[in-house]
């Protein structure tokens, strides 16, 4: 039950890719922050909705996953720099992990993350796919 409540609390960030932008230094962050880690000026942040476009800075292909992710291995997890400058870690989907390269452009997609418990509560969230 605790995970379900936490999921609802973070729903705007999970489904809209909303982060923070510092009005003082211009840096963008995901997830949202209450204090800018760059200039440390409290109260100078505003919400920003990211475009969902970015490029791969680094990645790793997972060949030996935990039991929860065995049915999707191998899969890739990447550090993505969004157009607005924030960096985010996400799974890369809908492609052969061996075809991924640093610098490739990606775009946001929403996919099923997991199904929990006997009730079958499904959690969705952001992932990225290679731009065509």
Please, are residues 107 and 87 in contact by the beta-carbon 8 Å criterion?
no
Which pTM value belongs to this model? 0.81
- Which of 5-14, 26-35, 72-81 bottoms out in mean pLDDT, i.e. has the lowest? 5-14
Distance CA 122, CA 98 (A): 29
Give mean pLDDT, residues 16-28.
91
Distance CA 29, CA 40 (A): 13
CA of residue 89 relative to chain centroid, distance: 5
């Amino acid at each position: 039950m605790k995970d379900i409540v936490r999921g609802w609390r973070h729903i705007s960030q999970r489904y809209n890719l909303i982060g923070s932008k510092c009005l003082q230094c211009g840096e963008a962050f995901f997830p949202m922050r209450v204090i800018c880690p760059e200039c440390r000026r409290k109260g100078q942040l505003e919400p920003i909705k990211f475009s969902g476009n970015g490029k791969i800075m680094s990645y790793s292909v997972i060949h030996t996953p935990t039991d929860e992710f065995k049915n999707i291995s191998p899969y890739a997890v990447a550090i993505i720099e969004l157009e607005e400058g924030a960096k985010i870690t996400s799974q890369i989907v809908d492609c052969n992990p061996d075809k991924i390269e640093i610098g490739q452009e990606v775009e946001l997609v929403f996919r099923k993350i997991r199904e929990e418990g006997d009730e079958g509560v499904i959690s969705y969230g952001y992932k990225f796919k290679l731009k065509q």
